[in-house]
Protein backbone atom coordinates (compact mmCIF):
# COMPACT_ATOMS: atom_id res chain seq x y z
CA UNK A 1 0.00 0.00 0.00
CA UNK A 2 1.27 3.46 -0.82
CA UNK A 3 2.31 5.69 2.06
CA UNK A 4 0.94 9.16 2.57
CA UNK A 5 2.81 11.86 0.69
CA UNK A 6 3.39 15.49 1.49
CA UNK A 7 0.89 16.34 -1.24
CA UNK A 8 -2.32 18.04 -0.22
CA UNK A 9 -4.61 16.86 -3.00
CA UNK A 10 -6.44 13.62 -3.62
CA UNK A 11 -7.75 11.81 -6.68
CA UNK A 12 -10.64 9.64 -5.49
CA UNK A 13 -11.84 6.94 -7.86
CA UNK A 14 -14.98 4.89 -8.10
CA UNK A 15 -14.04 1.38 -9.26
CA UNK A 16 -16.83 -0.50 -11.10
CA UNK A 17 -17.26 1.02 -14.55
CA UNK A 18 -14.55 3.60 -13.85
CA UNK A 19 -11.36 1.55 -13.48
CA UNK A 20 -12.70 -1.97 -14.09
CA UNK A 21 -15.11 -2.93 -16.90
CA UNK A 22 -17.74 -4.62 -14.72
CA UNK A 23 -21.00 -2.70 -14.99
CA UNK A 24 -22.59 -5.03 -17.48
CA UNK A 25 -21.51 -8.05 -15.44
CA UNK A 26 -23.43 -6.51 -12.54
CA UNK A 27 -26.45 -5.96 -14.79
CA UNK A 28 -26.53 -9.58 -15.94
CA UNK A 29 -25.93 -11.07 -12.49
CA UNK A 30 -28.53 -8.86 -10.81
CA UNK A 31 -30.98 -9.72 -13.62
CA UNK A 32 -30.38 -13.42 -13.05
CA UNK A 33 -30.77 -13.03 -9.27
CA UNK A 34 -34.11 -11.30 -9.82
CA UNK A 35 -35.19 -13.93 -12.35
CA UNK A 36 -34.40 -16.76 -9.93
CA UNK A 37 -36.58 -15.04 -7.32
CA UNK A 38 -39.47 -14.65 -9.77
CA UNK A 39 -38.92 -10.91 -10.22
CA UNK A 40 -39.02 -9.29 -13.65
CA UNK A 41 -36.73 -6.25 -13.75
CA UNK A 42 -35.64 -4.96 -17.19
CA UNK A 43 -31.90 -4.83 -17.72
CA UNK A 44 -32.05 -1.17 -18.74
CA UNK A 45 -33.41 -0.31 -15.30
CA UNK A 46 -30.76 -2.39 -13.55
CA UNK A 47 -28.07 -0.65 -15.58
CA UNK A 48 -29.22 2.76 -14.39
CA UNK A 49 -29.11 1.55 -10.77
CA UNK A 50 -25.59 0.11 -10.90
CA UNK A 51 -23.38 2.11 -8.54
CA UNK A 52 -25.87 2.06 -5.69
CA UNK A 53 -25.14 -0.20 -2.73
CA UNK A 54 -27.05 -3.49 -2.66
CA UNK A 55 -29.81 -2.33 -0.32
CA UNK A 56 -30.24 1.00 -2.10
CA UNK A 57 -30.30 -0.75 -5.47
CA UNK A 58 -33.11 -3.02 -4.28
CA UNK A 59 -35.03 -0.03 -2.89
CA UNK A 60 -34.57 1.82 -6.17
CA UNK A 61 -35.67 -1.09 -8.38
CA UNK A 62 -38.30 -2.84 -6.26
CA UNK A 63 -39.63 -0.17 -3.90
CA UNK A 64 -41.93 -1.64 -1.26
CA UNK A 65 -43.36 -4.21 -3.64
CA UNK A 66 -44.08 -6.93 -1.10
CA UNK A 67 -40.42 -7.24 -0.14
CA UNK A 68 -39.16 -8.84 3.03
CA UNK A 69 -35.72 -8.71 4.67
CA UNK A 70 -35.36 -12.39 3.89
CA UNK A 71 -35.94 -11.80 0.17
CA UNK A 72 -33.44 -8.94 0.16
CA UNK A 73 -30.84 -11.21 1.73
CA UNK A 74 -31.55 -13.93 -0.81
CA UNK A 75 -31.33 -11.52 -3.75
CA UNK A 76 -28.10 -10.00 -2.50
CA UNK A 77 -26.57 -13.40 -1.84
CA UNK A 78 -27.60 -14.68 -5.27
CA UNK A 79 -26.10 -11.65 -6.99
CA UNK A 80 -22.87 -12.01 -5.05
CA UNK A 81 -22.59 -15.72 -5.83
CA UNK A 82 -23.22 -15.15 -9.54
CA UNK A 83 -20.85 -12.18 -9.75
CA UNK A 84 -18.15 -14.00 -7.78
CA UNK A 85 -17.75 -16.46 -10.66
CA UNK A 86 -16.00 -13.61 -12.52
CA UNK A 87 -13.61 -12.58 -9.74
CA UNK A 88 -10.52 -14.15 -11.31
CA UNK A 89 -11.12 -12.57 -14.74
CA UNK A 90 -12.40 -9.06 -14.08
CA UNK A 91 -11.03 -6.81 -16.84
CA UNK A 92 -9.40 -3.51 -15.96
CA UNK A 93 -10.25 -0.70 -18.35
CA UNK A 94 -7.46 0.39 -20.68
CA UNK A 95 -4.72 2.38 -18.90
CA UNK A 96 -6.49 2.29 -15.53
CA UNK A 97 -3.33 1.38 -13.60
CA UNK A 98 -1.23 3.68 -15.76
CA UNK A 99 -3.51 6.61 -14.94
CA UNK A 100 -3.25 5.98 -11.20
CA UNK A 101 0.53 5.78 -11.40
CA UNK A 102 0.76 8.92 -13.52
CA UNK A 103 -1.31 10.85 -10.99
CA UNK A 104 0.66 9.48 -8.05
CA UNK A 105 3.83 10.55 -9.81
CA UNK A 106 2.43 14.06 -10.01
CA UNK A 107 1.80 14.17 -6.28
CA UNK A 108 -1.83 13.09 -6.07
CA UNK A 109 -2.89 10.76 -3.29
CA UNK A 110 -4.95 7.93 -4.80
CA UNK A 111 -7.97 6.60 -2.90
CA UNK A 112 -10.77 4.26 -4.02
CA UNK A 113 -14.40 4.84 -3.03
CA UNK A 114 -16.64 1.93 -3.93
CA UNK A 115 -19.70 0.02 -2.80
CA UNK A 116 -17.69 -3.19 -3.17
CA UNK A 117 -16.10 -4.80 -0.13
CA UNK A 118 -14.36 -7.96 1.02
CA UNK A 119 -13.43 -10.50 -1.63
CA UNK A 120 -15.10 -8.42 -4.35
CA UNK A 121 -12.99 -5.35 -3.59
CA UNK A 122 -9.89 -7.53 -3.43
CA UNK A 123 -10.68 -8.93 -6.88
CA UNK A 124 -11.17 -5.43 -8.28
CA UNK A 125 -7.86 -4.27 -6.84
CA UNK A 126 -6.11 -7.28 -8.39
CA UNK A 127 -7.59 -6.34 -11.75
CA UNK A 128 -6.37 -2.74 -11.47
CA UNK A 129 -2.92 -3.96 -10.38
CA UNK A 130 -1.81 -0.62 -8.93
CA UNK A 131 -1.74 -1.22 -5.19
CA UNK A 132 1.74 0.28 -5.08
CA UNK A 133 0.21 3.75 -5.56
CA UNK A 134 -3.20 3.31 -3.88
CA UNK A 135 -3.25 4.90 -0.45
CA UNK A 136 -6.38 3.00 0.55
CA UNK A 137 -10.04 2.34 -0.15
CA UNK A 138 -13.39 2.99 1.46
CA UNK A 139 -16.07 0.38 0.93
CA UNK A 140 -19.72 -0.18 1.72
CA UNK A 141 -18.61 -1.54 5.09
CA UNK A 142 -17.11 1.80 6.11
CA UNK A 143 -20.09 4.14 5.76
CA UNK A 144 -23.70 4.32 6.91
CA UNK A 145 -25.04 5.51 3.55
CA UNK A 146 -23.74 4.76 0.08
CA UNK A 147 -23.75 6.98 -2.98
CA UNK A 148 -25.48 9.30 -3.86
CA UNK A 149 -24.95 10.25 -0.20
CA UNK A 150 -21.58 11.99 0.20
CA UNK A 151 -20.37 9.54 2.86
CA UNK A 152 -18.14 7.31 0.65
CA UNK A 153 -16.44 10.30 -0.96
CA UNK A 154 -16.01 12.10 2.34
CA UNK A 155 -14.58 8.99 3.99
CA UNK A 156 -12.09 8.57 1.14
CA UNK A 157 -11.13 12.23 1.28
CA UNK A 158 -10.62 12.07 5.03
CA UNK A 159 -8.39 9.03 4.51
CA UNK A 160 -6.20 11.25 2.33
CA UNK A 161 -6.52 14.10 4.88
CA UNK A 162 -7.41 16.77 2.32
CA UNK A 163 -10.19 19.40 2.21
CA UNK A 164 -12.93 19.08 -0.39
CA UNK A 165 -11.52 21.87 -2.57
CA UNK A 166 -8.31 19.85 -3.02
CA UNK A 167 -10.01 16.63 -4.12
CA UNK A 168 -11.33 15.32 -7.41
CA UNK A 169 -13.72 12.37 -7.65
CA UNK A 170 -13.79 10.32 -10.84
CA UNK A 171 -16.80 8.09 -11.48
CA UNK A 172 -19.11 6.72 -14.15
CA UNK A 173 -22.66 7.07 -12.77
CA UNK A 174 -25.04 9.84 -11.81
CA UNK A 175 -24.79 8.50 -8.23
CA UNK A 176 -21.05 9.17 -8.29
CA UNK A 177 -21.53 12.72 -9.55
CA UNK A 178 -24.22 13.50 -6.98
CA UNK A 179 -22.06 12.16 -4.15
CA UNK A 180 -19.14 14.30 -5.31
CA UNK A 181 -21.29 17.44 -5.52
CA UNK A 182 -22.68 16.83 -2.04
CA UNK A 183 -19.20 16.52 -0.57
CA UNK A 184 -17.95 19.59 -2.41
CA UNK A 185 -15.21 17.83 -4.39
CA UNK A 186 -14.71 18.30 -8.13
CA UNK A 187 -16.75 15.70 -10.09
CA UNK A 188 -15.18 14.16 -13.21
CA UNK A 189 -16.99 11.49 -15.22
CA UNK A 190 -16.09 8.70 -17.61
CA UNK A 191 -18.38 7.11 -20.17
CA UNK A 192 -17.02 3.59 -19.65
CA UNK A 193 -19.93 2.64 -17.42
CA UNK A 194 -22.43 3.23 -20.23
CA UNK A 195 -24.24 6.30 -18.83
CA UNK A 196 -24.80 9.15 -21.33
CA UNK A 197 -22.65 12.26 -21.01
CA UNK A 198 -25.73 14.50 -20.78
CA UNK A 199 -26.97 12.63 -17.70
CA UNK A 200 -23.56 12.81 -16.06
CA UNK A 201 -23.29 16.55 -16.71
CA UNK A 202 -26.79 17.14 -15.36
CA UNK A 203 -25.75 15.28 -12.18
CA UNK A 204 -22.79 17.64 -11.78
CA UNK A 205 -19.85 16.38 -13.85
CA UNK A 206 -17.49 19.24 -14.65
CA UNK A 207 -15.69 17.21 -17.31
CA UNK A 208 -16.49 13.96 -19.14
CA UNK A 209 -13.95 11.58 -20.68
CA UNK A 210 -14.32 8.37 -22.63
CA UNK A 211 -12.41 6.19 -20.13
CA UNK A 212 -9.21 6.18 -18.02
CA UNK A 213 -7.06 6.08 -21.17
CA UNK A 214 -8.73 9.25 -22.41
CA UNK A 215 -8.05 11.03 -19.11
CA UNK A 216 -4.42 9.91 -19.25
CA UNK A 217 -4.04 11.10 -22.84
CA UNK A 218 -5.39 14.55 -21.92
CA UNK A 219 -4.00 14.70 -18.40
CA UNK A 220 -2.03 17.90 -18.99
CA UNK A 221 -5.19 19.82 -19.91
CA UNK A 222 -7.62 18.08 -17.56
CA UNK A 223 -8.97 19.05 -14.15
CA UNK A 224 -6.27 16.71 -12.84
CA UNK A 225 -3.47 18.66 -14.48
CA UNK A 226 -0.51 19.83 -12.43
CA UNK A 227 -1.46 22.86 -10.39
CA UNK A 228 -0.60 24.50 -7.15
CA UNK A 229 -2.35 22.74 -4.22
Q: Are residues 14 and 73 in the same domain?
A: no
Render pLDDT for 182-199 as a digit per residue (tens, 0 to 9).
Answer: 999 999 999 999 999 999
In a domain, 226, yes or no: no
In a domain, 4, yes or no: no
Report the pLDDT value the prediction gives residue 65, as an integer from 0 to 100: 72
Dist. CA 169–CA 67, nearest whole Å? 34
List the CATH number of the domain containing 62.
1.10.150
Render pLDDT for 48-80 as a digit per residue (tens, 0 to 9).
Answer: 999 998 889 999 999 987 789 999 999 999 999
229 CB contacts (<8 Å, ≥6 apart)? Answer: 7, 8, 9, 107, 166
Domain endpoint, select from 67, 85, 103:
85
Closest CA to 147 of 124, 125, 169, 123: 169
Q: Are residues 81 and 105 in the same domain?
A: no
Dist. CA 159–CA 183, nearest whole Å? 14
Q: What is the pTM of this model?
A: 0.93
Q: Are residues 163 and 209 in the same domain?
A: yes
Domain endpoint, select from 85, 102, 126:
85
List the CATH number of the domain containing 106.
3.40.50.1000
Low-confidence ranges of the chain (pLDDT < 70): 1-7, 226-229
Report the pLDDT value the prediction gives residue 8, as an integer from 0 to 100: 83
Q: Are residues 130 and 196 in the same domain?
A: yes
Report the pLDDT value the prediction gives residue 3, as an integer from 0 to 100: 40
In a domain, 5, yes or no: no
67 CB contacts (<8 Å, ≥6 apart)? Answer: 58
Domain endpoint, select from 44, 60, 85:
85
Q: Are residues 106 and 174 in the same domain?
A: yes
Report the pLDDT value the prediction gives residue 7, as an integer from 0 to 100: 53
**Owning domain of residue 210:** 10-21+91-221
Asked if 200 and 182 touch (Cβ cutoff 8 Å), the reply is no
Handedness of CA 156, 158, 164, 167 (dihedral sign): negative
Q: Give the chain's domain count.
A: 2
Report the pLDDT value the prediction gives residue 228, as an integer from 0 to 100: 45
Q: Are residues 76 and 107 in the same domain?
A: no
Amino acid sequence: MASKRDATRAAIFDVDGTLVDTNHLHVVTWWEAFRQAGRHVPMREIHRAVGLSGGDLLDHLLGDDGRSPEEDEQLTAAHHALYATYFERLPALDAAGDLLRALAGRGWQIVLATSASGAELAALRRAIDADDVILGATSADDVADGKPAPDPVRQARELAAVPSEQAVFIGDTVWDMKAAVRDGVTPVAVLSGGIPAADLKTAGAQAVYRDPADILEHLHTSLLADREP
